[in-house]
Amino acid sequence: MFRLSNALQAWGDPDFKDVLKAELEQLGADQLPLQQGLATGSVAVDDKLKAMIISVSDTPGSILAKAGIFYSGIIAGCSCADDPTPVDEQSEYCVVQLEIDKQTATTTVTLLAE
């Protein structure tokens, strides 16, 4: 879990989605399920993370947001000196569901199956 304090403060404002997107793009693989969302790579790389807000709704106690996450993955070789496998980044995409607590900004994230 982590906190999306800026997004909570922007809730109800016209720029909420932009604030949420910016805050998500500052997170990394340790906070988002990027490794679990890999489709072609074996290791998630989170240095070029981009987010797209798909939908937003709310309940009495939380804000629910579905977001698409664009990132990269690599196919890791053996790291031997004579390993012929180049370390090329592969484009990756996953969809997550965020639940932001309206009182504390504590956020849980769930990887969604596509």
| Cα 9 to Cα 3, 30, 41, 46, 81, distances in angstroms | 12, 24, 36, 26, 50
- Rounded to the nearest angstrom, the gap between the alpha carbon of residue 49 and the centroid of all alpha carbons in its chain is 7
Q: Which fold has domain 2-75+89-112?
A: Nuclear Transport Factor 2; Chain: A, (3.10.450)
Model confidence, pTM: 0.88
Cβ pair 108, 3 in contact under 8 A: no
The full set of domain ranges for the chain reads 2-75+89-112
Q: What is the pLDDT along the chain (114 residues), one digit of tens a residue?
A: 899 999 999 999 999 999 999 999 999 888 999 999 999 888 898 888 999 999 999 999 999 999 999 999 988 766 666 666 666 788 999 999 999 999 999 999 999 986
**Residue 41 structure tokens:** 């790579």
